[in-house]
Amino acid sequence: MAKIVVIGAGFAGQTAALYLGDKLGKKHEITVISNRDVFGYVPSWVWVGVGHMKPENTVFKLKPVLERKHVKFVHAAAKKIHPDVGDQYVIGEEIGTGKEVRLDYDYLVIAPGPLLNFAGTPGLGPDGGFTHSICSLPHAVKTRDAYLSLCERMKKGEQVKIVVGTGHPGATCQGAAFEYIVNIHKDLVKKGLRNKADILWLSNEPALGDFGVNGVQIKRNGIVQKSDEFIKSVFNDHGIRYQVQTGVTKVEEGKIYWQNYEGEEGVTEFDFAMLIPQFKGQPFQYIGKDGSDISSKMVNPAGFVLVDGKYGLAYPELAQTPEAWPAHYNNPNYPNVFAAGIAFAPPGPISKPFTNKNNLLIAPAPPRTGMVSGMIGRVVAMNIADLIEKGTMTHSERMTEMVAACIASMGDNLWDGNAVTIVMRPVVPDRKKYQNEYGRDLFVSHLEMGLSGAWMKFMLHHTFLWKFKGNFGWKLIPE
């Protein structure tokens, strides 16, 4: 009987656990260890952050769902990983008691989600800082409360300054920040307060609508349309100011300090700011059989797990090497250790990085959340099943092959709401397969805005909660 341990229960970890339970749960031992006892549907935290959805409608308890799928659940924070052959186990700390938990494994999936590196930008974040976040449910609730308090000030006639975007030169998840800023706009319009707010988009993207994926491009009627033109028209229509090519370096009360591509330094004042932090890998200890630190064999300097990608390529070469992106997501030194979702180390950025004259690197990190996380979680689970049942892996999917879709709501009302629907093929450009300057299938890739997207966003919330609960037909719903 094989023992499989999954660290984390987000999009990647929960997907992996469901597939593992379905394929192997009756014959082998599968255990999920997570410091949270609930699954959180992250995309809907945007709505929580503006007060349009109750927090409890975005979560469900993990243990009953997993046990129904023949998967054990341990509510503990993983701390140490011992990957050497003959003595492979995870040490965790039980939530509530602090007791040490040991989980032996034959196969390990590392999928704990990101460390939110607020400390990477002095003064950033809701805990000891001056900005807000929607990257965790408690933070989204705090953001909601602060935003609604701001609305009360506006109702009394006060003019306010709102800033939304990225809070670090290397941050990712620009899509979530974009969704939040347009939801704020829509909410203020409905409240009759839009004229009381100056709203600014502040981002490290090289161009508006880049989203850390080198933008989105489509071809219709022989004309190439680009996301920078599309998002610019949205912001202009909504009266949202924008500033890109900017890395936030420090935050003080009411002030955001930044540098841009030209090396200029500036200060932006605010009354309310929601800035996405840099993501890093979780700070697990990786310990060899002799007690030594073997982190260099497991993770990169940011704490992301090294997998079967080609690392060290300069950006121009990486942009022309689609096979540099991992296919199986297992560690080359410990091939029975897999990483899924944000936890795996990408071979480099998707969007072109830039270092200014002050030696500040401004480079959006590759997004590896949402649909991408789910797809990787499935690939990892199926490969582990392959290894146990067949002795070889038969599943692979590089980000240079993935089709990914994203729907960014612009208000959640099903009658006058709106949403931007984005489809990319592939997520990471493949300039060898697609012979155009963008490296994408311009016919399959899609970009549009309309009421139908709002309906799709609403349906996705309920559909994916159904899927992640492992309810009837869950495998028919694509990741």
Structural domain total, the chain: 1
Residue 164 inside a domain? The answer is no
Within-domain flag for 312: yes
> What's the confidence (pLDDT) of residue 335?
98
Whole-angstrom distance, CA of residue 280 vs CA of residue 42: 18
Q: Residue 97: which residues within 8 A CB-CB, separation 6 or more?
A: none
**Cβ-based neighbours of 91, under 8 Å, separated by 6 or more:** 78, 79, 80, 81, 82, 100, 101, 102
Phi, psi dihedral angles at 323 (to 5 degrees): -75, -5
Q: Please give the Cα distance from 77 to 374 (Å, whole number).
A: 22
Say what the pTM is: 0.97
Distance CA 261, CA 243 (A): 11
- In the chain, % helix, strand, coil (3-state, to 5) comes to 30, 25, 45
Sign for the CA dihedral angle at 23, 26, 29, 34 comes to positive
Find the CATH number of the domain harbouring 27: 3.50.50.100
Please check whether residue 61 lies inside any domain of the structure.
yes
**Helix, strand, or coil (residue 304):** coil
Helix (H, G, I), strand (E, B) or coil at 149: helix
Q: Which residues pair with 242 in a beta bridge?
A: 201
Task: Please tell me what DSSP assigns to residue 446.
Answer: E
- Whether residue 237 lies inside any domain: the answer is no
* 146 lies in some domain: no
Query: Do the domain assignments include residue 227?
Result: no
Residue 400 structure tokens:
């240079």
pLDDT at 80 (0 to 100): 98
Within a domain: 247: no
Domain membership of residue 324 (yes or no) is yes
In this predicted structure, what is the pLDDT of residue 412? 66
Considering only CA atoms, give the Rg of the chain.
Answer: 22
Length of the chain in terms of residues written? 479
Domain membership of residue 59 as a residue range: 3-116+279-389
- Look at residue 414 in the predicted model and tell me its pLDDT: 72
Q: Within 10 Å of residue 239's Cβ, how many Cβ atoms? A: 13
Q: Are 177 and 200 in contact (CB under 8 A)?
A: no
Q: pLDDT per position in the chain (479 positions), as tens?
A: 999 999 999 999 999 999 999 999 999 999 999 999 999 999 999 999 999 999 999 999 999 999 999 999 999 999 999 999 988 999 999 999 999 999 999 999 999 999 999 999 999 999 999 999 999 999 999 999 999 999 999 999 999 999 999 999 999 999 999 999 999 999 999 999 999 999 999 999 999 999 999 999 998 888 899 999 999 999 999 999 999 999 999 999 999 999 999 999 999 999 999 999 999 999 999 999 999 999 999 999 999 999 999 999 999 999 999 999 999 999 999 999 999 999 999 999 999 999 999 999 999 999 999 999 999 999 999 999 999 999 999 999 999 999 998 888 877 677 777 788 889 999 999 999 999 999 999 999 988 888 887 888 889 999 999 999 999 999 999 99
DSSP codes of every residue in 233-254: HHHHHHT-EEE-SEEEEEEETT
Q: Among residues 218, 202, 172, 164, which one has the least CA distance to residue 351?
A: 172
